[in-house]
Amino acid sequence: MLKIQQNYDKTFIWLFTTSILLVALIWVGGLTRLTGSGLSITEWEVFSGILPPLTNHKWIEYFELYKKIPEYQKINFGMSIDEFKVIFWWEYIHRILARILVLTFCIPLLYFVFKKQIHGNKSTFLFFVLALFLTQGFMGWYMVKSGLVSETDVSHFRLAAHLSLAIIIYGMIFWALLNNQKLNFKIKLNKSTFLIIVMILLILLQIIWGAFTSGLNAGLLYQTWPLMNENFIADDIILTKILTSSVLNNPSYVQLAHRFLAYFIIFYSIVIYFAHFKKSNLKLPFKYIFAALALQVILGILTLISGLNIYLASFHQMGSILLISSAIYGLFYTNHNQNLIDTSVYKQ
């Protein structure tokens, strides 16, 4: 029993540390985006970029590479090398944190599998997470590459893919952390878990649209709430085009979709709570879900009406992690507490 508890402590600490590092990485990544620093390092440098520039000559070399891209030529032309160093450090810290995170996850995983402390479907699940980490490294560079040739910014589609993959990885690690003492990570699919899974997918979709909003700078258009300037739906939006590619590429339509997705998630959460979870004795997680949802809505509104204040925008992004964490906890709770359901309710 003592040995089992020790193994539990080791794997718990490992998964907890990994999840905290990943949250920190997402936070720094968001600030890298908000400070316009993401294109400051123009080469992938998987191994050679581990050390920062240590000489003035190396700083000049990096700066000269940055001068060749459209962002410098069209937006930051005339930037001093000291100003360049500020944006460089944000991107450098982001990349170093990513390397530390992968090593923190990979090395203990191999050790635990070798020692047979993790096996079966747990090891399969966690090796899949490792594969996603490696994919994310490529996705990060693929995103940066889109802003180096002809555009002054990265593709909003690639930005959304990069962020959503990070959220998916975090969600899987958080799921593994919650289920650390369980025999496996499997989900018992039933009405309760299905409703929560739909909620998680809606939150993930909203995060993707948040990335679209950021990538297209759509938040700069209508900085009022609940109206979009003087109208509930902005006057440059044609309703017949809502279901066209405009909702993916036009900043006005993207911001509208981001707002209405938020309204729908609120509506959906309230409906499933009162229609199912409240009467089934599975209502505990909704205390956290509703609290996280309220906080995220408030942060979103404050970010918008503040003119996209960088601190509020950063907290708004982190609020999305808190929200999806509360929903994943809801899935965990319903998955392992089906015995709490009052079946008599469904017989009536």
CA dist 66 and 43 (Å) reads 10
Burial of 52 (0-12, 13-18, 19+ CB in 10 A): middle
Query: 101: which residues sit within 8 A by CB, 6+ positions away?
Result: 18, 21, 22, 25, 133
211's enclosing H/E stretch is helix 191-215
Cα–Cα separations (whole angstroms), residue 94 to 16, 66, 183:
20, 17, 35
Count how many residues are written for the chain: 348
CA dist 328 and 196 (Å) reads 8
10's enclosing H/E stretch is helix 2-34
CA dist 185 and 129 (Å) reads 13
State the number of CA atoms in the 13 A half-sphere of 315 facing the CB: 16
CA dist 179 and 110 (Å) reads 19
DSSP letter assigned to residue 282: -
Q: What is the pLDDT along the chain (348 residues), one digit of tens a residue?
A: 334 445 558 899 999 999 999 999 999 999 999 999 999 998 887 777 788 999 999 999 999 999 999 999 999 999 999 999 999 999 999 999 999 999 999 999 999 999 888 888 899 999 999 999 999 999 999 999 998 887 888 999 999 999 999 999 999 999 999 998 876 778 889 999 999 999 999 999 999 999 999 999 999 999 999 999 888 999 899 988 888 888 899 999 999 999 999 999 999 999 999 999 988 888 899 999 999 999 999 999 999 999 999 999 999 999 999 999 999 999 999 998 876 664 434 443
User: How big, in percent rounded to 5, are the helix, strand and coil portions of the chain?
Assistant: 70, 0, 25
